[in-house]
Structure 1
Amino acid sequence: MSTTARADIRIDASRERLWQALTDPDTISRFLFGSRVETDWRPGSPIVYHGEWEGKPYEDKGVILEIEPEDRLVTSYYSPLSGKPDVPDSYQTVSYLLTDDGAATRVTITQDGCADEADAERMAANWGAVLESLKSVVEER
């Protein structure tokens, strides 16, 4: 049985501004551990993340499953750093959901396919750090 990681945050910015941040490669690199993202942002298209983690280069990948501007982005996701083989069962689903929260926007990230509760807690903590970084980038004045 797989478990889902979840993290969310309230950000003082419009959904439009957050969507731009979530889909602009230069902005993504500022909040996603320096990752460079390559994709054309169309359903069915590949999405590739290049970067360095703990001194080692990586290339994570997936496919855009759903994209609804200013609402949600859903991708499949695979990282060779997981130690798992590159087979369909090793891919997880990562969802970004934007919802109104008063004058601000709530951003929720979920990642399914975690091995157990401890793995889900680790991933939720990682996504929490990503969201804090996103908040600081987007709320810069």
Structure 2
Amino acid sequence: MSTTARATIHVDVPRADVWRAITDPDTIARYLFGSRVSTDWHEGSPIVYRGEWEGRPYEDKGTILEVVPGERLVSSYYSPLSGKPDVPESYQTVSYLLADDAGGTAVTVTQDGCADEAEAERMSENWGMTLGSLKSVVEQT
């Protein structure tokens, strides 16, 4: 059985601004630990995240599964740093969901396929930090 990580934050900018932030590689690098993202943002296309984590280079990957501009971005996700083999069962699904919220935007990230509640909690905390960084980036631009 797998569990799902979840984190939500309110940002004081319109959905269009958040959408740009989650699909612009230069902006992504500003809030996602310096990760450089490569993709064309079309359903079925590959997505690759490159960077360095704790002094080690990484290249995470997946496939864009769903794109609804201004509303939803869903991709599969695999990281060799997980220690799991690169097989379909090791891929997780990461979803960014945007909704109007009190003059701004509610941003929710879910990551399914966590092995247990402990992993889901760790991933939820990581996504909470990432969303805090996203909030800082989009609200200052």
Shorter-chain TM band: over 0.9
The corresponding residue for 1:27 is 27
CA distance in 2, matches of 1:7, 1:103: 20
Q: Following TM superposition, by how much is the alpha carbon of 1:140 offset from its aligned partner in structure 2, in angstroms?
A: 0.5
**1:23-82 deviation digits (Å, cap 9, x = unpaired):** 000000000000000000000000000000000000000000000000000000000000
- Provide the rounded CA distance (Å) in 2 between the counterparts of 1:55 and 1:14: 36
Paired residue secondary structure (2:50): strand
How does 1:42-121 map onto structure 2 within 5 Å? 42-121=42-121
Q: Does 1:125 align with 2:130?
A: no
- The alpha carbon displacement at 1:18 in A equals 0.3
Q: Which runs of 4+ in 1 moved over 4 A?
A: none
Q: Which residue of 1 aligns with 2:36?
A: 36
Amino acid at match of 2:2: S
Paired letter, 2:138 = V
| Residue type at the aligned position of 1:86 | D
Q: Percent of counterpart pairs with the same letter?
A: 73
Q: TM-score, normalised by structure 1?
A: 0.99
Q: Describe the superposition over 1:97-135 as per-residue Cα deviations: whole angstroms up to 9, x where unpaired.
A: 000102010000000000100000000000000000000
What is the SS of the residue equivalent to 2:140? coil
Deviations 1:5-31 (A, max 9, x none): 000000000000000000000000000
| Unaligned stretches of 5+ residues in structure 2 | none
Aligned length: 141
- With normalisation by structure 2, the TM-score equals 0.99
Q: Gaps (5+ residues) in structure 1?
A: none
